[in-house]
Amino acid sequence: MEQRVLILDFGGQYDQLIARRVREHGVYCEVWPCTADIESIRAFHPIGLIFTGGPGSVYAPDAPDADKGVFSLGIPVLGICYGCQLMAHRLGGLVTPAQSDTAREYGKTETRFDTACALFRGLPEDSVTWMSHGDYMAKVPDGFRVIARSDACPNAAIADEKRRFYGVQFHPEVDHTEYGKEMLRNFLFDVCGASGDWTMENFRARAVRELREKIGEGRVLLALSGGVDSSVCAALLSEAVGRRLTCVFVDHGLLRLNEGDEVEAAFSERELNFLRVDAASRFLRRLSGVEEPERKRKIIGEEFIRVFEEESRKLGTVDYLAQGTIYPDVIESGAGNAAVIKSHHNVGGLPDHVSFREIIEPLRLLFKDEVRQLGRELGLTESMVSRQPFPGPGLAIRVIGEVTEEKLATLRSADAIFREEMARCGLTHAADQYFAVLTNMRSVGVMGDGRSYDHAVALRAVATKDFMTADWVRLPYDLLDRVSVRIVNEVPGVNRVLYDITSKPPSTVEYE
């Protein structure tokens, strides 16, 4: 069993980021609600605990708390922001609301460190941290000493090195803290004694073994969308159970150029049952005359389930239904004191008629970047594992207004040109998502010495870490010029190309 670190969640906004930072150092971790009981924590066998931040105040009557036994496990503890204050509060210190002229801090803060402390060893004595706290440690618990301070906060970090308890008022997990990753590394390796044995090769071997043990001779059904998560899930299950896996790929005709063929090719040589259902005409009929975005989404979601039901009914008894759920889905669905960001249900509604023992989610403990790593480990092509996020309704929400076969063909061609030119310039990693949109605006143009009255295509490219916010990408003018010229010359019915320079907020990444 690999070494493990347990992160107790007190409702902080950066919980996923803490877990990702830990795993980036090759150390396996999980995020649990702070209400986890001490026996479950002990059975997890963690080599260290991390307490997250949170919006509450530790002295409030209903403040999130942890089992009183967490400080008696004999393992290192790192408290971040609220977690630091909880540690101080529970171990005999005093936490009070900060006065306006003392220790309330938000944003980038010049901070001074005691580099003799293991947490900051090897780092500069002065650097910038990201503070976000309105409470203040007025009294440090007995046995602790101050190991960092700022102009406004004399107790920016504390430590009881004998018991290996550390607390920081700032957030080392965010990029704004200059040496935050190094601080976490020091805690993991120098304090907890981690060896960095969390690798995707090890995960793959263990996952395959556990899937074989669970499924045995049973049959598995997977709704394959062609996205990264479901594709990697299919590849992993294929390695584990082979022909006992059936992947149903519903081709709704709303995919990008050649995308359906690429998905089929990716799984054509694998030992599984691959069923591609051509339902394009069926979806287009249902979408005929529909312009309102939410109606489009609901029609597509409902029709997908209907097709999936019909095809799965033909397969007879299925023992397990597989989903490509990943760890952010689990965390965002909320648990304990964690806020529900959004509820996830990856198949969009389970068919009533499918008889299955349980749902299998082999990727539920992986983050997106780890899913991509696993895909490479399983031999999927780079184009497949690096595939950008693509909305479930597909191109239907990138065609503004009514969706028709002609409009889809126009958009596919324009989008393909944009992606080709981005690749040709080596800029595929310059944006986290980029695509073309067929607007419902038509305008006058001059083409071939004649008047035209054709569609306008909008190009969109954004950079983001979490898709909660996004900034438009400053693409080179010569690239935009080539894309514009090619689209207008090569795509019938288009005489104008626009570039969207709006960030999120106030806009969204997608148009509908």
Catalytic residues: 81, 171, 173
Q: Is 268 exposed, middle or buried (0-12, 13-18, 19+ CB in 10 A)?
A: exposed
The answer to whether 219 and 318 are in contact (CB under 8 A) is yes
CA distance 401 to 464: 27
CB 53 within 8 A of CB 12: yes
Distances (CA, A) of 466 to 14, 222, 287, 488: 11, 27, 31, 33
Tokens matching residue 181: 């990753």
Diameter of the chain measured on Cα atoms: 85
Residues whose CB is less than 8 angstroms from the CB of residue 108 and which lie 6 or more positions away in sequence, other chains included:
128, 129, 130, 131, 176
d(CA 396, CA 433): 17
- Based on the number of CB atoms within 10 Å of its own CB, is 391 exposed (0-12), middle (13-18) or buried (19 or more)? middle
d(CA 144, CA 250): 60
Spatial separation of the C-alpha atoms in residues 146 and 382, rounded to whole Å: 48
Encoded amino acid at 177, one letter: T
List the end-to-end C-alpha distance of the chain, in Å, as a whole number. Answer: 46
Contact 216, 241 (CB under 8 A): no
CA distance 300 to 312: 18
Tokens of 82: 């609220």
